[in-house]
Amino acid sequence: MRISHSGPAPENRNDLKTLGTLLPYLLEFKGRVIVAMACLVIAKLANVSVPLLLKDVVDTLGPQHAVLTLPLGLVVAYGLARLATGVFGELRDAVFAKVTQRAIRRIALQVFAHLQRLSLRFHLERQTGGMSRDIERGTRGIGFLLNFMLFNILPTLLEIALVAFILLGRYHWSFAAVTFGTIAIYILFTLAVTEWRMVYRRSMNDLDSQANSKAIDALLNFETVKYFGNEKYEVARYDRNLASWEESAIKNQTSLNLLNAGQGAIIAIGVALLMGMAANGVVTGQMSIGDLVLVNAYLIQLYAPLNFLGFVYREIKHSLADMEKMFTLMEVGEEIADKPDAQTLSTRSAAIRFDQVDFHYDPKRQILHDVSFDIPAGHTVAVVGSSGAGKSTLSRLLFRFYDVTGGAIRINGRDIRDYTQASLRAQIGIVPQDTVLFNDTIYYNIAYGRPEASEAEVIEAARAARIHEFVSQLPDGYRTQVGERGLKLSGGEKQRVAIARTLLKNPPILVFDEATSALDSETEKAIQAELAAIAANRTTLIIAHRLSTIIDADQIVVMEQGRIVERGAFRELVERDGRFAEMWRLQLQEEEAAAAGQPASQAVGPA
């Protein structure tokens, strides 16, 4: 069963499952975790001893003892205890830093690698802006979760237990009862209100991702926005998403204020009760001034982190909410996966067979029907047909971006599903009709065909693609930035970069999907000659629009509505006077009309 690729994260994702996902990254550095926890315990023991030493100092200096000299030992011990609290706290963070940063790095890398393995279908359906925001929030939440979970919640609970034990041992049980009672009410109130508030946080995340998706989409397609003068429309659409986000953000903030006010009231009542009990003990002579200072110090020392604990718990819940969608991405299954016993394809002579291939993207709409043809090793086969005939689908199936729903595609007699995807794609090079480049240099984009290639090989590929002279005339040469999606280059320049990239890859199988459609006639003829020479000893599939470019193909396959309606050599098909001959006549008429400067025929040619 295929897992859905879209939709919001589960409303009540198991937080324990999310926390469990982080456990292996902690176990990788068991030694560091143990040392950090030891530093934590030492720091907390030192922190708890500070009020005890302070009580002794106060009592020693009290009038009933009439001390004439400074209790130097107690003062030094007090200072050392405070120093140990700070030093071991910082040492703990330093030791644990590598654990946190390595976990962030590995999880981010794991998510990115997983996304790279997912099918083309997933990436066609995704919303890039929203998904990138989900990953950004998720990775940021990991560091917060690891640090605060281990170094705020655990030490605060430890400190509460130590303080309660001291109060119970030294004073009337009512002191411990009030302390525990206040803490219990505080925690229950925090848990209840925080869980209630999480719906607003999740809503904020969803709406934030949606708004970001709309903004990124508009920016990526800014030319189209300009063509139609829809700047105000895009701004209004973005603002509608922001308005919904604003509403959730206000609810989130006001509910947070309610939570903070309630927590403050609970702590204030608890502190007032304990201080009243301690003051009464001093008045009745049951407690010393030092005892009053001790109780007060513990209250400040205990309730300050307890108040912070409420903040930490809220932020941990927020981090878990932020991580939900990122880990949900990790749960998306691979639609196209290698078989456990998949073989490695390695050949310089590849024979391809489309064997009774059926395919649909959606069961309700069949794209290919019983398509069968051969491309013998070293031969060239061209596929032509009107728009929507299924031509480009053939190349996607050959690359195994999708699996056929019937029949098989074979290379050297073996089903391509028996090969690993990596080795299969390593044997195929493609020049697509719509070339999208990385936002980097021209050199980087050509070298992408074979990243380990030398500079001389990259330049040689550029020469073969007839782009070297153009690049050499640029101020920055091969270091020229091409812009996002290559928008700084013209369509023809981008296509020549794509051709150079494929030539550098030097694969045994070539796919030209309207490879020269963006070039002028003169450049096209020059590059066609180069492509013909390169394809001479390679197995080549050409998806063509201009029929004049496939005159020399060994075989031409004509498709209509996902079916093969004709096949044969160029002259044979023209003489047969069928569908191909009709397409050929239409193109000749259009070319003659264009040469004469007259309007082209109203007939619609192939796409």
Instruction: Say which CATH number the domain at 139 has.
Output: 1.20.1560.10
pLDDT the model gives residue 6: 38
324 and 352, same domain (yes or no) = no
Average pLDDT, whole number, for the chain?
Answer: 79
Contacts of 176 (CB under 8 A, 6+ apart): 164, 167, 168
Judged against a pLDDT cut of 80, whether residue 514 lies above it is answered with no
pLDDT digits 0-9 by tens, 340-390 = 898 998 888 899 999 999 998 888 888 899 999 999 998 999 999 887 788
pLDDT the model gives residue 151: 67
> Quick one: 342 exposed, middle or buried, by C-beta within 10 A (0-12, 13-18, 19+)?
middle
The Cα–Cα gap between 575 and 514 comes to 25
* Sequence-ordered alpha helix ranges (H) in 331-454: 391-398, 421-426, 442-447
Q: Which of residues 485, 506, 527 is at a domain's end?
A: 506
H or E stretch covering 483: none
User: What is residue 165's DSSP assignment?
Assistant: H
Of 43-52, 61-70, 247-256, 563-572, the poorest mean pLDDT is in 61-70
Give the side-chain half-sphere CA count within 13 A for 570.
14
- Per-residue confidence at 479, pLDDT binned at 50, 70, 90? very high
- CB-based contact 282:289 (threshold 8 Å): yes
Mean pLDDT across the stretch 14-22?
Answer: 67
237 and 140, same domain (yes or no) = yes
Closest to 539 in 3D by CA, of 408, 410, 359: 410
pLDDT digits 0-9 by tens, 25-59 = 777 777 888 888 888 888 888 888 877 777 777 76
> Which amino acid is it at 561?
Q
Partners of 539 in beta bridges: 509
- Tell me which of 319 and 541 has the higher pLDDT: 541
Judged against a pLDDT cut of 90, whether residue 419 lies above it is answered with yes
pLDDT the model gives residue 351: 93
The Cα–Cα gap between 181 and 331 comes to 42
- Tell me which of 404 and 203 has the higher pLDDT: 404
Does residue 6 belong to any structural domain of this protein? no
Does residue 244 belong to any structural domain of this protein? yes
The Cα–Cα gap between 496 and 491 comes to 9
Of 133-147, 305-319, 475-489, the poorest mean pLDDT is in 305-319
Does residue 540 belong to any structural domain of this protein? yes
Judged against a pLDDT cut of 50, whether residue 523 lies above it is answered with yes
User: What is residue 357's DSSP assignment?
Assistant: E
Q: Which of residues 330, 351, 368 is at a domain's end?
A: 330
- CB-based contact 438:432 (threshold 8 Å): no
Does residue 8 belong to any structural domain of this protein? no
494 and 515, same domain (yes or no) = no
64 and 90, same domain (yes or no) = yes
- Tell me which of 107 and 426 has the higher pLDDT: 426
- Tell me which of 403 and 116 has the higher pLDDT: 403
* Sequence-ordered alpha helix ranges (H) in 399-476: 421-426, 442-447, 455-464, 468-472
The Cα–Cα gap between 373 and 540 comes to 13
157 and 63, same domain (yes or no) = yes
Both tokens assigned to 531: 């492509």
User: What is residue 235's DSSP assignment?
Assistant: H
- Per-residue confidence at 398, pLDDT binned at 50, 70, 90? very high
The Cα–Cα gap between 2 and 363 comes to 14
pLDDT the model gives residue 295: 76
- CB-based contact 295:274 (threshold 8 Å): yes
374 and 448, same domain (yes or no) = no
Mean pLDDT across the stretch 165-172?
Answer: 77
417 and 440, same domain (yes or no) = no
Give the side-chain half-sphere CA count within 13 A for 503.
26
72 and 47, same domain (yes or no) = yes
Partners of 564 in beta bridges: 559
- Per-residue confidence at 10, pLDDT binned at 50, 70, 90? very low
Mean pLDDT across the stretch 512-538?
Answer: 71
> Quick one: 397 exposed, middle or buried, by C-beta within 10 A (0-12, 13-18, 19+)?
buried
Does residue 5 belong to any structural domain of this protein? no
369 and 232, same domain (yes or no) = no
User: What is residue 344's DSSP assignment?
Assistant: P
- Tell me which of 254 and 128 has the higher pLDDT: 254
285 and 150, same domain (yes or no) = yes
259 and 157, same domain (yes or no) = yes
Mean pLDDT across the stretch 475-492?
Answer: 84
Contacts of 199 (CB under 8 A, 6+ apart): none
Q: What angle do CA 371, 373, 376 make, to 5 degrees?
A: 155
Most confident of 97-111, 138-152, 290-304, 561-575: 561-575
Both tokens assigned to 118: 């997912």
- Whole-model pTM: value is 0.61
pLDDT the model gives residue 407: 93
Give the side-chain half-sphere CA count within 13 A for 145.
27
DSSP conformation letters of 99-112:
HHHHHHHHHHHHHH
The Cα–Cα gap between 120 and 237 comes to 28
pLDDT the model gives residue 485: 73
Judged against a pLDDT cut of 80, whether residue 580 lies above it is answered with yes
The Cα–Cα gap between 301 and 305 comes to 7
Domain range for 222 is 15-330
- Beta pairing, strands 428-431 & 509-513: parallel
CATH of the domain at 543: 3.40.50.300
Does residue 80 belong to any structural domain of this protein? yes
pLDDT the model gives residue 123: 66
453 and 418, same domain (yes or no) = no
The Cα–Cα gap between 133 and 245 comes to 14
The Cα–Cα gap between 493 and 107 comes to 38
pLDDT the model gives residue 334: 72
Q: Which of residues 476, 491, 506 is at a domain's end?
A: 506
Judged against a pLDDT cut of 60, whether residue 464 lies above it is answered with yes
pLDDT the model gives residue 152: 67
Does residue 565 belong to any structural domain of this protein? yes
How many domains is the chain built from?
3
Does residue 576 belong to any structural domain of this protein? yes
The residue to which tokens 């700047």 are assigned: 231
- CB-based contact 411:350 (threshold 8 Å): yes
pLDDT digits 0-9 by tens, 87-114 = 888 888 788 888 777 877 887 787 777 7
Judged against a pLDDT cut of 50, whether residue 289 lies above it is answered with yes
